[in-house]
A and B are shown apart, each in its own frame.
Chain A
Amino acid sequence: MSVKKFAVATYNDEAVLFPAVKKVRGAGYKIHDVYTPFAVHGLDVALGEKESDLHIAGFIYGITGTCTALGFMGWIFTTDWPQNFGGKPHFPLPAFIPIVFELTVLFAAVGMVLTFCYLNQIMPGVKKHIFNPRQTDDKFVMAIEVDDTTEADTIAFLKGTGAEETNVQIAESEWWYGRWDKKEDYEIQQQIA
């Protein structure tokens, strides 16, 4: 748990967000994260994120599935319990293809989804700070970590980038286990303040 202070800017269109991201990065601010209601193409490039390697993980899982299926069936039919099905060979590769293919797909899909959840740190019961409840609806939200000395300056800069609304929030920057129908301590303290 690490509660930090963020300058938060809300934009109402991706067409405003893109130049804003460019300006903010150009001015040397380090963007904590940008939250959007849908996948905005090109935003990852604008933020300087490198391309995801998830597909490579998927390939490795897939190959694992292929090898598991081939190895397991091959071992059973040739070594563990060889059976004679109408005089056919003990290692009938063409007849193995369907199950080999299915296990390839199964391993790749399950592995990738689990990796996706792990990388994004998402899981049932996980809770994260939502800077603006409409960031999953129609708003585009940018958060920049600040301290007492940089706070006023950052907010002033964000106001100049076309933000519809700016504010400062004390927020948990990581994920934690929690219930979405309950407020956390730091949120309640912030409300009182």
Chain B
Amino acid sequence: MHLKYESIIREPLVDGNKTYHQVTEDICAPVEKAPTKLWKIGFFISAAMLLFGVFSVTWEVYWGTGVWNLNRTIGWGWDITNFVWWVGIGHAGTLISAILLLFRQGWRTGVNRAAEAMTIFAVMCAGQFPIWHMGRVWDGFFVLPYGNTRGPLWPNFVSPLLWDVFAISTYFTVSLLFWYSGLIPDFATIRDRAKTKFRKMAYGIASFGWAGSAKHWQRHEMLSLVLAGLSTPLVLSVHTIVSFDFATSVIPGWHTTIFPPYFVAGAVFSGFAMVQTLLVVTRKVLNLEEYITIGHIEAMNKVIVLTGSIVGVAYLTELFIAYYSGVVWEQEAFRLRVLGPYWWAYWAMMTCNVVSPQLFWFKKLRRNVWFTFFMSIIVNIGMWFERFVIIMSLHRDYLPSSWSYYTPSWPEVGFYLGSFGLFFTCYFLFAKYFPVIAIAEIKFILKTSGDNYKRDMEKIEVQDNQHFLEEQSHHH
């Protein structure tokens, strides 16, 4: 007896001959084994990069933001580029966990846990950039709404930079809660099969004492659904607000209404690319190829080609509107983007984001793991350049004597490398100590979308219509 029917035409989401117990075994295996040599090497490199980042930031805090190559015209450089880039990457995790939940996309179950983890780590990295850019970082709490000792002077609630503070911190908190509420039952699974004393104790605490009661599962489902409903507008609002940092200014090339949708599409685009980068490696190293199948990879590549095309349309629209507006400042800003001193960044962006992802229209390439990995890196480079190109609009202002060219100094590069260190250190710890795939959610779809159960669907498919309707109509 099946509780839900799914057509056999649909590709199975779990390959191989799986039972509920086998799912538990497969996903818990990396947690219960000693770390491999590969893991140790990767972790060591990440930690080293993180330490170099700490050194670069310490240097910057000690000497002041003057050690960065920012100048009067280009007041924002790598720092804000990296901030927007990391925040954007985070968006794919929420899209997978929230929007695809509302759209009832079964394939999200294989990738949502790792994607949400990626979101959280990416937002942590993003947060570093505005914080350390403050210079006098010990005064950072000034962004919080408190009446200070010199009188009740409040932050400016109508400034997009303050909206960012609220948006990013809310986004981080909600993503963390969503992720952790899903982890509780899976930690309980690891706890109940733990052999070592330490694992019993640690996962006992982490699982909050979850026992799997029917009533609790009912509330858990409700919680996931409402959190998904909240996260969906939240994720759109976050990158919209990030785009307001630029769009509400009066800088030519920034002051455009296209920014919010264009930033959100770009964020999803780069986020999916990062998910591919991580999962193509993770599935191989942790032997999870039966749970993160080629079908999953293809589905994500489809999202990449769609959002890549949206971004492409946005670039062309920007150029057209600049021409059509008749505003000389706007026209000059875009002429400089395409042909000015930073032409190389513009064309790198165009190639990586608009031209090369079009190759994903070919099914063969969408389903090729090596090509996917290569493209995911290309897209991430392209999306970094997109932000760089936008921010480098600053290199020409209204006063020719202050026109300049900007290249980063070593503490800026070190800070960026350090953010990679932070991201990958967290990801390595996650891959070792957390269930990388949502165990309970895979079990939930196993009997409808598992390879071995799909074969039994044939019996249902040969039934006559009346009989089929009677049995299946209430399973939705």
Q: Which residues of A pack against B, CB within 8 Å?
A: 14-15, 33-44, 47, 49, 51-52, 54-55, 58, 62, 72-73, 76-77, 80-81, 83, 85, 88, 92, 95-96, 98-99, 101-103, 105-106, 108-110, 112-113, 116-117, 119-130, 133-138, 175, 179-181
Contacts and interface: CB of A to CB of B under 8 A. Distances in A.
A99 to B, nearest CB: 5
A109 B167 CA distance: 14
Contacts of B117: none
- Residue among A38, A73, A81, A106 with the most chain B CB within 10 A? A38
Contacts of B166: 98-99, 102-103
B170 interface: yes
Interface residues of B, number: 73
Contacts of B234: 102, 105
Contacts of B222: 52, 54-55
B214 interface: yes
Given A33-B215, A180-B203, A98 B227 contact: no
B140 interface: no
Contact of A44 (B214, B225, B241): B214
Given A33-B214, A102-B170, A95 B158 contact: yes
B410 interface: no
A105 B209 contact: no
A40 B214 contact: yes
B444 interface: yes
Given A109-B177, A113-B177, A136-B188, A38 B204 contact: no
A137 B23 CA distance: 9
A49 B152 contact: no
B217 A36 contact: yes
Contact of B219 (A83, A116, A128): A116
Contacts of A36: 212, 214, 217
Given A55-B226, A126-B208, A180-B191, A96 B185 contact: no
A179 B170 CA distance: 33
A81 B166 CA distance: 21
18 contacts: A34-B214, A44-B217, A55-B225, A88-B158, A96-B157, A98-B244, A102-B163, A103-B166, A106-B173, A110-B173, A113-B181, A116-B219, A122-B184, A122-B216, A125-B205, A125-B209, A126-B208, A181-B200
Contact of B1 (A15, A113, A136): A15
Contact of B204 (A40, A85, A103, A180): A180
A14 B3 contact: yes
B226 A98 contact: no
Given A35-B212, A96-B157, A133 B226 contact: no
A52 B219 contact: yes
A44 B219 CA distance: 10
Contacts of B205: 124-125, 180
B468 interface: no
B211 A58 contact: no
A14 to B, nearest CB: 7
B458 to A, nearest CB: 18
B193 interface: yes
B210 interface: yes
Interface in B135-186: 145, 147, 151-154, 156-158, 160, 162-163, 166-167, 170, 173-174, 177-178, 181, 184-185
A65 B166 CA distance: 13
A178 to B, nearest CB: 9
Given A41-B3, A43-B214, 15 more contacts: A15-B1, A37-B24, A38-B441, A39-B220, A42-B3, A43-B218, A73-B157, A88-B158, A95-B158, A98-B160, A105-B233, A106-B173, A119-B219, A126-B209, A181-B197
Given A99-B166, A137-B20, A128 B158 contact: no
Report the 7 A-B pairs with minimum CB-CB distance, sorted nearest first.
A180-B204, A126-B209, A138-B20, A95-B158, A122-B208, A181-B200, A38-B440
Nearest to B1: A15
Interface of B: 1-3, 19-21, 24, 145, 147, 151-154, 156-158, 160, 162-163, 166-167, 170, 173-174, 177-178, 181, 184-185, 188-189, 191-193, 197-198, 200-201, 203-206, 208-223, 225-227, 230-231, 233-234, 237, 241, 244, 439-441, 443-444
A123 to B, nearest CB: 6
Contact of B145 (A72, A106, A122): A72
Nearest to B155: A76
A125 to B, nearest CB: 6
Contacts of A137: 20-21, 24, 189, 192-193
A31 B3 CA distance: 23
Which of B181, B206, B217, B220 has the largest number of chain A CB atoms within 10 A?
A: B217
A136 B237 contact: no
Nearest to A109: B174
Contacts of B154: 76, 80-81
B21 A49 contact: no
B219 A38 contact: no
Contacts of B188: 136
B219 A120 contact: yes
Contacts of A126: 208-209
Contacts of A42: 3
A189 B14 CA distance: 43
A9 B197 CA distance: 28
A121 B206 CA distance: 14
Contact of B163 (A44, A99, A116, A175): A99
Contact of A120 (B24, B152, B216): B216
A179 B204 CA distance: 7
Given A95-B158, A125-B205, A136-B188, A38 B217 contact: yes
Contact of A112 (B147, B167, B226): B226
Contact of A54 (B160, B214, B219): B219
Nearest to A132: B192
A91 to B, nearest CB: 10
B192 A134 contact: yes
Contacts of B244: 98
A99 B241 CA distance: 10
